[in-house]
Amino acid sequence: MAPVLKKENITINSVLPAFVPTGLAPPGLIEAWPKVHITPMSTVIKCFSMFIEDDEMTGQTGECSQETVYLRKQPEYANESQRWGREEGGKVWALVYPS
């Protein structure tokens, strides 16, 4: 949907954080998690900032791991229906949401 909604100045991106220690973690998990595998909240914020600062960026996935944000390309389609929805479905959306 990202390319279709871009016409309306709406961008869609996703942020995929690894383990980020927050108050939502069950008791003891933060202490038990190996420190080398913790992703700080600052990395998640950096990913959000990337998307906010570049209003042309849409349909992207930002994978947050430790101190780095990795922009991932779309994986291969799981099946023909997924391909159609992504590549052809925009035509149907455009009928409902014309420019």
Tens digits of residue pLDDT in 37-90: 999 999 999 999 999 999 888 888 999 999 999 998 777 889 999 888 877 877
For the whole model, what pTM was predicted?
A: 0.74
Q: What is the pLDDT of residues 2-34, one digit of tens each?
A: 666 777 788 889 999 999 999 998 888 999 999
Domain layout of the chain by residue ranges: 2-96
Q: How far apart are CA 1 and CA 87, in angstroms?
A: 10
Q: Please check whether residue 60 is in contact with residue 71, taking contact to mean a CB–CB distance below 8 angstroms.
A: yes
The beta strand positions in 1-99, using DSSP E, are 14-17, 61-65, 68-72
CA 4/CA 95 separation, integer angstroms: 11
Cα 39 from chain centroid? 16
Q: What are phi and psi of 72, to 5 degrees?
A: -105, 140
